[in-house]
Amino acid sequence: MAPAADREGYWGPTTSTLDWCEENYAVTWYIAEFWNTVSNLIMIIPPIFGAIQSVRDGLEKRYIASYLALTVVGMGSWCFHMTLKYEMQLLDELPMIYSCCIFVYCMFECFKMKNSVNYHLLFILVLFSLIVTTVYLKVKEPIFHQVMYGMLVFTLVLRSIYIVTWVYPWLRGLGYTSLGIFLLGFLLWNIDNIFCDSLRNFRKKMPPIIGVATQFHAWWHILTGLGSYLHILFSLYTRTLYLRYRPKVKFLFGIWPVILFEPLRKH
């Protein structure tokens, strides 16, 4: 975490229970953590296009919700890192729980009839979200949130491993790429937390461009944003395979992955 001695800016004193390693208001007076803020664009813009494409393709609403939930996380994180206000912190952290619950629902409903609804699983996930929200608002302990979020991610990892091991082994590349990118982001998140003082001292001695490259919490946003986006593609690929579609991952401009498919023609 960041040392206590940080300058104030447009949004006033920090009220969040977390203040990350990036130097506050170092780039502009209007944004507390500039790089931690703008790095959220990867979680905001691509999922919006994913949601629009999902609507056009007539996909089940839960996949549209998955894309939009990731966008909400990115917007909440933008507001949090821009202001370092407690209310904005909640706008970041609570949607992380809700979006993961949507991901869990999608992953466990991949092999059901089209447009079916699992009310038991919905009830469990909604109840889990309500309990986490209520407890977190009471205790205000970030570690509690991190453990609950970790439980959901671990559930997604186990389900993904089951699918690529026993159901669709040819999806290992997409599944493990999503997981690997996410875990790399998690590694950098920990490095940023544990070695914050060393990183700050290093940045003071280095040219600005190198200093930016060591903003590991911003890299956490980029990598987990990409990892989460790829997870949605993995979930959607699994689902459309089961529904006997022809999904394919294409790269827009040779860079950004999207999923395209068409229904299986009847002869």
Please indicate whether residue 183 or residue 251 has the higher confidence score (pLDDT). 183
Q: Supply the pLDDT for residue 182.
A: 96
List, for residues 103-156, the tens digit of each pLDDT value. Answer: 999 999 999 998 899 999 999 999 999 999 999 999 999 999 999 999 999 999
pLDDT band for position 262 (cuts 50, 70, 90): low
The CA distance from 179 to 176, in Å, is 5
Residue 3 lies in a domain: no
pLDDT bin (cut points 50, 70, 90) of residue 252 is confident
190 is in an annotated binding site: no
- Confidence bin at 65 (pLDDT 50/70/90): very high
Pair of tokens at residue 44? 């905001």
DSSP state letter for 245: B
pLDDT digits (tens, 9 = 90+) for 2-61: 444 467 889 999 999 999 999 999 999 999 999 999 999 999 999 999 999 999 988 999
Q: Is residue 223 part of a domain?
A: yes
Q: Do the Cβ atoms of 20 and 2 come closer than 8 Å?
A: yes
In a domain, 26, yes or no: no
CA distance 77 to 71: 10
> Is 157 within the bounds of a domain?
yes
pLDDT at 67 over 70: yes
- % residues pLDDT > 90 (the chain): 82
The reported pLDDT for the residue numbered 5 is: 47
List of residues 6+ apart from 180 with CB closer than 8 A: 227
Residue 253 has pLDDT above 80, yes or no: no
Residue 10: CB atoms within 10 Å: 12
What rounded mean pLDDT belongs to the chain? 93
Find out whether 221 is annotated in a ligand binding site: yes
Q: Answer yes or no: are the C-beta atoms of 249 and 234 closer than 8 Å.
A: no
The answer to whether residue 29 is domain-embedded is no
- Residue 120, annotated as binding a ligand: no
Domain that holds residue 71: 34-107+116-261
Consult the annotation and say whether 145 binds a ligand.
Answer: no
Give the total number of structural domains in the chain: 1
Q: What is the pLDDT of residue 7?
A: 73
- pLDDT score recorded for residue 1: 52
Q: Is residue 10 part of a domain?
A: no
Is 40 known as a binding-site position?
no
Note the pLDDT of residue 6.
Answer: 66
AA identity, residue 229: Y
**How much is the average pLDDT of 70-97?**
98
Q: Which pLDDT score, from 0 to 100, does residue 4 have? A: 43
Residue 144's domain is classified under what CATH number?
1.20.1070
Please return the burial class of 38, using the count of CB atoms within 10 Å of its CB with bins 0-12, 13-18 and 19+: middle
Which of 126, 72, 92, 102 lies closest to 232 in space, CA to CA? 102
Q: What pLDDT, on a 0 to 100 scale, did the predictor assign at position 214?
A: 95
Rg (CA), the chain: 20
109 marked among binding-site residues: no
- In whole angstroms, how far apart are CA 109 and each of 79, 104, 115, 184, 235? 32, 9, 10, 28, 10
Q: Whose CA is closest to 100, among 51, 147, 140?
A: 147
- Domain-embedded: residue 198: yes
Single pTM value for the model = 0.93
User: Residue 260's pLDDT is what?
Assistant: 85
The pLDDT, as a whole number, for residue 263 is 54
